[in-house]
A and B are shown apart, each in its own frame.
Chain A
Amino acid sequence: MSRLETIPIPVVESLSVAIQLPNRLRIGGRITHQEPGQLLGGFLKAVHDAVVGERLAAFELDVTELKFVNSSSIRLFLDWASWVKALAPHGYKLRILTTRKFTWQKTSFVAITALAAGCVEIHTAD
């Protein structure tokens, strides 16, 4: 059994979260909570740790259905990029699958990627 399968999925209002084996996490909906780190920070760290534990070469974060987030939530993705960057060059590559439908994704993820060049990549689904 993959370590990813053992991670409890957080239940958060306005948000859908699903791990799709072997190497993908889909997050959809909106994250506009006051303390998003308390809701999702531990979960994302657990996913990261499991990816490292499984020695995966790459992992995909699919946010194509993530309509909107507040700036406190951008911190969640920034932290993830930092964890991946800290492992380079021996870690995994984080691929973020975005969409042009939601303007915020381009600006936010491009900037985050710039801070973790070579470790985090952006792909556009449409």
Chain B
Amino acid sequence: MHDSGNIHPAEVALTESNPAHLSSSHPLVVMRFRPAWTYIDGVRDFGEFFCRTTFTESDVADRACVVIQETLENAIKYSVKDPDSELELVICATENSIEFSVTSKPDNAHLGSLREELDRLNHLDPEQAFISALERAQNSPEASARLGLARMRYEGGVDLRLVEQSDGRIRFTAAGKL
């Protein structure tokens, strides 16, 4: 979609669309930026504003906050440290669904853990999976919490999907009902 050889520090594209008129998934927002922690608050706040302004459903903006925060944190923590690294956040919607996708290039160790964690979570219902993740964190106080994915499913009301691309990048998608 983009030439990653010529990345600007941040790039944003908005499409003016009324999601109520969409019959198939349609990108409403595309943002590209370097994988730096410092961008997360701004991107999350924009996502919250965008969803609050665009959708009539009252909880979409709150769910967007959780999903954007956790997907970006994961992508930034585990992206390869490369001067050409970039993240792409895409928000799509149809008449009755919303989808957040983040594309990044993760390190190999993280990719393995991500596959394993998604597999574990997808065998449990969202609430059960969140409580199970809390229990794991409680039993390993020195380890990292690893609550983000379970929180997204439960609190964000989304299904999670991972697509591995041939160029080593992954697209992590969180999709839920509007």
Question: A interface vs B, CB < 8 Å?
Answer: 14, 30, 32, 34, 68, 70-72, 74-75, 78-79, 81-82, 102-104, 107-108, 111-112, 114-115
Contact = CB atoms under 8 A, between A and B. Distances in A.
Main SS of the interface on chain B? helix
Contacts of A81: 138
B121 interface: no
Interface stretch (B22-30, B65-73, B89-97): B65-73
A41 to B, nearest CB: 10
A110 B76 CA distance: 29
Give the most central of B40, B65, B131: most A CB within 10 Å: B65
Given A71-B70, A104-B66, A115 B134 contact: yes
A75 B130 contact: no
A74 B135 contact: no
B163 to A, nearest CB: 23
Given A71-B151, A107-B154, A108-B155, A115 B131 contact: yes
A75 B137 contact: yes
B69 A114 contact: no
Given A74-B145, A103-B155, A68 B65 contact: yes
Contact of A115 (B44, B63, B138): B138
Given A75-B137, A82-B138, A103-B59, A114 B151 contact: no
Given A75-B145, A78-B138, A70 B131 contact: no
Contacts of A75: 137, 145, 147
Contact of A32 (B40, B62, B127): B40
Contacts of A71: 70, 73, 145, 147-148, 151
A82 B141 contact: yes
Given A34-B37, A78-B134, A115-B131, A72 B155 contact: no
A71 B127 CA distance: 15
